[in-house]
Amino acid sequence: MEDPAAEAARLRGEIAHHDQRYHQLDDPEIADAEYDALVRRLRQLEEAHPHLVTSDSPTQRVGSAPSALFAPVAHAVPMMSLENAFSFEELQAWGERISRRVGEASAFVCELKIDGVAMSLRYEEGRFTRAATRGDGRVGEDVTANVRTIASVPERLQGELPALLEVRGEVYMPVSAFEALNRRQAGAGGRLFANPRNSAAGSLRQKDASITASRELSLFIYQLGAVEGGRALSTHSQTLEYLAALGLPVNPEIRTVDTLDEVYERCRWWLEHRHDLDYEIDGVVVKIDDLAVREELGATSKAPRWAIAYKFPPEERTTKLLGIMVSIGRTGKATPFAQLEPVVVGGSTVAQATLHNEDQVRAKDVRPGDTVVVRKAGDVIPEVVKPVLAERPPGLTPWPFPTDCPRCGQPLQRIEGESDTFCSNVDCPAQRRARIEHFASRGAMDIEGLGERTALLLLDHGLVTDPGDLYRLSPSDLLGLEGFAEVSVRNLLAAIEASKERPLANLLFALNIRHLGPAGAQALARAFASLDAIVAASEVDLAATEGVGPVIAASVARFFALDRNRELVDKLRAAGVDFGRVEEPALPQVLSGRSVVVTGTLDAYPREAAEEAIKARGGRAPGTVSSRTTALVAGAEPGQAKLARAVELGIPVLDEAGFAHLLETGELPVTGGAPGADR
């Protein structure tokens, strides 16, 4: 067992190192969760052995010393950190500590915990005069010129102006802007940012403000600093309303609730919906609403007692990269992926993670043997973010992207102007297996019991070479194969037989034509009514179909021009596969080509049913509002960000009755016009 004093010293050393990587270099080596674990362990040790506490321990201070790159700025009111809670019990314990000091709190404000860079903005007589980072909480860095380039930072405030106003908030980079920036960086061979927060920090830490200006940064204000004059305020929610009225960007997702049960409900709701937002949040900040009660509660040396951050479980963790492999998909696409020492991240155990393509591997330069940061966010497939260079063992060499297909040995080819690499051998066993698996999958021919394992078995025994051969299988072919007995043979053959009756759209999708997804297949099926008509159609005819663009049309024409694909069609015809089963849409397609976003709770439809109703009428039901949105349907407790965006873009906002009308007729209800549309 390590001696507590030695362990505390070691932990402080490690924490100081990671503080420097995070605050000075904007290039953390470890995930936040691992950093938090180090600080937690140190706090545990200090609680068990109070004589080990030192005044400069990371548990006693905030942030890190300001860098020499920017002029120092002393904060008139210190910028504090927040205490964290990772469970409902920890939230309750916080509530109990408050009750003991000031009696039971009656109102809590729940805000999003924006994952960005803390900033203090100063306004004198309503004019923006200075911006400073948090630094060590007392002294920060003067980044005025850089922050001035951020579009959402008002140069002048309006309304009941205080003589002096310092506000605190978070500078962040929207996720879409972060992804676009990394795509540009990868294309130009530049440095990739690990996540939106690092890219916001890196974009702010520029001597040349024009670089900051070229990055799409934004800001939310959530707290008052020093203030002289202005409106008298008695609650935090009033304060936020006042700041918004002055013209400052206040996050719209704010809710005041009465009990900690409701606070926790809000935290869980946001845990589910965090990825609906175009900015990253890492928790919910809970604040006592009553400013007099806050005053009474005061602060520790590090954090106010009147607020706590409920932190979400981590979506990034570090683990060992055991090896890099390349998988070959049904179109021949070669995707590099990492084999990892299993790690729990984003709510599940991850042992493999994608590396996307050759450019990404090169830009990230992860090497087998590295410790790497792995990320699994929401529904997105897990990915390797970057290596932890400080932990790289000596002698590791860069991983070379293979020149030949790892399965068939034929050369891999990269299409000019694209980032993907392909195995060009259509007879490659890996592609064959993936094509058969896709043919049998749900949404395609839906052949129950024909998955990866069976596809491989059939290919390995030479029983099939393409999906057309499935219809020639006999019981004697299958009996005796590993895992097959009389009943399973009968079931598989019955499932194959039943698949002959699938709709034309499924059959088209099953054929594995590049770029052709289920929606394009459906559009072609409805327009041409038979597979033979599609095979015979010219590229121009195909492109004239609504819902089929020139890329899909060219790809379909190219596919059927190849002899081998025509032979496949012949095999399917000979087997008796139905080429002309077109499913008429059950409902009039009044929303065809339209996009309707649903937010909040509707009486007549649970969320999924509302989205199904839109899709059943030919519409799309995406999760975010954009300029292409036809209408936003807002039920009870709608997402404030979606509402604000719709109003900003002049998109009609419908209530439940308006939605019913839209579903029935495809028409927007006639009202005074969209909110804000004629202003």
Please list the active-site residues.
113
> Tokens for 210?
């024009």
Q: Give the nearest distance from C-beta 22 to ligand IVH in angstroms.
A: 12
Sign of the CA dihedral running 272, 273, 278, 280: negative
Q: Which is nearer to ligand IVH, 85 or 118 (CB)?
A: 118
Q: Give the nearest distance from C-beta 58 to ligand IVH in angstroms.
A: 14
The H helix count followed by the E strand count for the chain is 24, 21
CA atoms within 13 A on the CB side of 39: 20
Q: Which is nearer to ligand IVH, 285 or 572 (CB)?
A: 285
Q: Which is nearer to ligand IVH, 82 or 147 (CB)?
A: 82
Q: Give the nearest distance from C-beta 515 to ligand IVH in angstroms.
A: 42
Q: How many CB atoms lie within 10 A of CB 344?
A: 13
Q: Which is nearer to ligand IVH, 109 or 334 (CB)?
A: 109
Q: Which is nearer to ligand IVH, 36 or 391 (CB)?
A: 36
Q: Give the nearest distance from C-beta 309 to ligand IVH in angstroms.
A: 5
CA atoms within 13 A on the CB side of 26: 19
Mapping DSSP to helix (H, G, I), strand (E, B) and coil, where does residue 473 land? coil
Q: Give the nearest distance from C-beta 239 to ligand IVH in angstroms.
A: 12
Q: Which of 499, 538, 504, 540 is nearest to 524 (CA)?
A: 504
DSSP 1-55: ---HHHHHHHHHHHHHHHHIIIIISS--SS-HHHHHHHHHHHHHHHHH-GGG--T
> Tokens for 146?
């850089």
Q: Give the nearest distance from C-beta 394 to ligand IVH in angstroms.
A: 36
Mapping DSSP to helix (H, G, I), strand (E, B) and coil, where does residue 372 land? strand
Angstrom CA distances, 565 to 328, 468, 540, 553, stand at: 20, 10, 20, 16
Strands laid side by side in the 596-599 sheet: 596-599, 631-634, 653-654
Residues that bind ligand IVH (CB under 6 A): 80-82, 111, 113-114, 118, 170, 222-223, 285, 304, 307, 309
Contact yes or no for 71/140 (Cβ under 8 A): no
Q: Which is nearer to ligand IVH, 85 or 157 (CB)?
A: 85
Task: Give backbone dihedrals phi and psi of 130, rounded to 5 degrees, phi first.
Answer: -160, 145
Beta-bridge partner residues of 345: 348
Q: Give the nearest distance from C-beta 279 to ligand IVH in angstroms.
A: 11
| Cα distance between residue 575 and residue 570, in whole Å | 9
DSSP 143-203: -HHHHHT-TTS-SB--SS--SEEEEEEEEE--HHHHHHHHHHHHHTT-PPPSSHHHHHHHH
Contact yes or no for 422/331 (Cβ under 8 A): yes
| Cα distance between residue 25 and residue 19, in whole Å | 9
| Cα distance between residue 291 and residue 234, in whole Å | 5
- The residue number whose beta carbon is nearest to ligand IVH equals 118
Q: Which is nearer to ligand IVH, 195 or 371 (CB)?
A: 195
Q: Give the nearest distance from C-beta 306 to ligand IVH in angstroms.
A: 8
Contact yes or no for 136/316 (Cβ under 8 A): no
Q: How many CB atoms lie within 10 A of CB 389?
A: 12
Q: Which is nearer to ligand IVH, 118 or 186 (CB)?
A: 118
Task: Name the H helices within 49-167.
Answer: 88-102, 144-148
| Cα distance between residue 515 and residue 521, in whole Å | 10
> What length is written for the chain?
679
Q: Give the nearest distance from C-beta 634 to ligand IVH in angstroms.
A: 24
Q: Which is nearer to ligand IVH, 197 or 435 (CB)?
A: 197
| Cα distance between residue 117 and residue 115, in whole Å | 7
Q: Which letter, b or e, does each residue of 246-262 get, where b requires 16 or more Cβ atoms within 10 Å of its Cβ? A: bebbbbebbbebeebee
Strands laid side by side in the 108-114 sheet: 84-85, 307-311, 281-288, 108-114, 255-257
Q: Provide the 8-state DSSP code for 370.
A: -
Mapping DSSP to helix (H, G, I), strand (E, B) and coil, where does residue 626 land? coil
| Cα distance between residue 201 and residue 118, in whole Å | 10
Q: Give the nearest distance from C-beta 119 to ligand IVH in angstroms.
A: 8
| Cα distance between residue 492 and residue 616, in whole Å | 31
Q: Give the nearest distance from C-beta 170 to ligand IVH in angstroms.
A: 5
Q: Which is nearer to ligand IVH, 307 or 508 (CB)?
A: 307
Q: Which is nearer to ligand IVH, 109 or 651 (CB)?
A: 109
